[in-house]
Structure 1
Amino acid sequence: MGIYMDDNIHAPTVASGPTTIGGSNRDPAKLSMVDLMQEKERIEEELSALSSVLTSHGVNMNSSLTTFDDFPRNDIDVAQIRTIRAKIIRLRYDHKEVMKHLEKGIHDHFLNLQRAEGDTSSVSNTNGSSRAHPDDFGNSSPDVAILGPPFARVISVAVASPADRAGLKSGDNIRSIGTINWINHERLSQVAALVQQNEGRTLIMKVIRQDGGNATELDLELVPRRDWGGRGLLGCHLVPL
């Protein structure tokens, strides 16, 4: 396998040829949904760790690695940073492939649910129900098939914050915020990006709230703001599930 290099010191060294998931010969198209989810989590954890290394050097993917007169900087390990950048590029490609197959799997699952609903509705309702049996997401609702399970839990909510005004409470489990759900939250980094991009705009948040032994699903209207008198745009602390 060849190595591509050029005279640009900023360009990472990236191996040529197709990239395989997880450095193996496994075809993501043949992985189960569970395996794809595990691969997604593994890639996101590695991306987070590599990004932290770049941050510890005081650089990111676009930082200059040369001085003003085009000499390599001597305050950082240029070779290591180029290697890390190359790994991040490969992992981002792997993540994109995994996400593509995950989204296809969910789409196919939703279509199967629709077909099941159509089949059962055309049959005489002799057993008192015309709905499909619960599926492998634990519910036959098309909405669940799209959104999937919760991906984050609310640990705390500041008084008078945007999250508080929306009705969010500590202990709530979040299934979606706008377009972000269990598939694409990337360890909550995409939640932060979505919130920053929608300051002053209404985001619909779907949450599951436990009340004793009962679970209630709520649609909350969340408006990110930075002038509410506290830290952040939401005023709540979330952790990934």
Structure 2
Amino acid sequence: MDDIHAPTVASGPTSGGPPPRDLSKLGMVDLMQEKERIEEELSALSSVLTSHGVRMSTSLTTFDGFPRDDIDVAQIRTTRTRIIRLRNDHKDVMSHLEKGIHNHFANLQRAQAVAPSGGNAGDTPGLQASVSGNAASDAGAAGMPFAKVNSVVPGSPADQAGLRAGDTVRSFASANWLNHERLSKVAQVVQQSEGRTVVVKVSRKEPNSTSNIELSLELVPRRDWGGRGLLGCHLVPL
């Protein structure tokens, strides 16, 4: 009898994975890269489970307690273990990112507090730091852009809400740059919000200017607008 616990799919994950990194020693850019790496691996591992027709909670035994013989039980178990570890790693990375953001803006506020008064913004470093601190604080409150509106269909819910091609998305309801998971969180929000108002915060470049304007738009995902999808726009991750 064949050993049903022996892995049979060469593309499956191993239980080891890369060695753990000391997140406390990573800067914000490295933390963001680590976040993206984890999310990409989670997406790949999710595809492995999907290829077997199972989820994290799907039973791997028959009704009488024997291992199922229609799936690769060993690979699925290994994949699930890796997913659990990566989810914990993702939480740790997000925690360090949040701390880094708070520390960054705290430093900006301290720099603003000690900035000398008077003088022109062009010749006073302290005042420049103050202005930059205010702008960065505003950006932090809204969230860093994580997606760009690539196209908008005329007459669609996105068009009626005021979205335009070229807008960068800072938040889409509860989805933001820290948790959007390569826009899968946005798709989840859209599916769960059909017929209900969703607040979308975007940054838009003003014509003939280098500055941006910040907008808070109300979008109602719906199917009956005459086109494909619930939004009528195409988002791409940044």
Length-normalised TM-score, structure 1: 0.79
- Aligned residues of 1:180 and 1:191 also touching (Cα < 8 A): yes
Distance 1:212 1:52, change over 3 A: farther
1:161 corresponding residue in structure 2: 156
2:10 corresponding residue in structure 1: none
Give the residue type in structure 2 aligned to 1:125: G
How far did 1:134 drift? 7.0
Q: In the TM superposition, what are the counterparts of 1:1-241 in structure 2 within 5 Å?
A: 23-120=18-115, 123-128=116-121, 130=127, 132=129, 140-210=135-205, 211=207, 214-217=210-213, 218-241=215-238
How far did 1:179 drift? 3.2
Partner SS for 2:176? coil
The two structures, once aligned, show a CA RMSD in angstroms of 2.7
Gaps of 5+ in 2: 1-14
- Paired positions, count: 219
Give distance in 2, aligned partners of 1:203 and 1:41.
Answer: 26
Partner SS for 1:204? strand
Give distance in 1, aligned partners of 2:58 and 2:47.
Answer: 14
- Aligned residues of 1:208 and 1:215 also touching (Cα < 8 A): no
How far did 1:181 drift? 2.0
Give distance in 1, aligned partners of 2:110 and 2:131.
Answer: 14
- Aligned residues of 2:105 and 2:136 also touching (Cα < 8 A): no
Q: Share of identical aligned residues, percent?
A: 66
Give distance in 2, aligned partners of 1:176 and 1:98.
Answer: 20
Give distance in 2, aligned partners of 1:178 and 1:112.
Answer: 28
Task: Point out the more displaced range, 196-205 or 27-36.
Answer: 196-205
Give distance in 2, aligned partners of 1:35 and 1:125.
Answer: 38
Give distance in 2, aligned partners of 1:197 and 1:83.
Answer: 31
Gaps of 5+ in 1: 1-14
How far did 1:188 drift? 0.7
- Aligned residues of 1:202 and 1:224 also touching (Cα < 8 A): yes
Note the alpha carbon deviations across 1:180-216, whole angstroms, 9 max, x for none: 2222211111112222333333332222334455453
How far did 1:25 drift? 4.5
Length-normalised TM-score, structure 2: 0.80
Give the residue type in structure 1 aligned to 2:212: T
Give distance in 2, aligned partners of 1:139 and 1:65.
Answer: 55
Q: Hey, which bits of structure 1, 4+ residues long, moved more than 6 A?
A: none
Give the residue type in structure 1 aligned to 2:119: T
Give distance in 1, aligned partners of 2:90 and 2:42.
Answer: 10
- Aligned residues of 2:38 and 2:86 also touching (Cα < 8 A): yes
Give distance in 2, aligned partners of 1:89 and 1:221.
Answer: 36
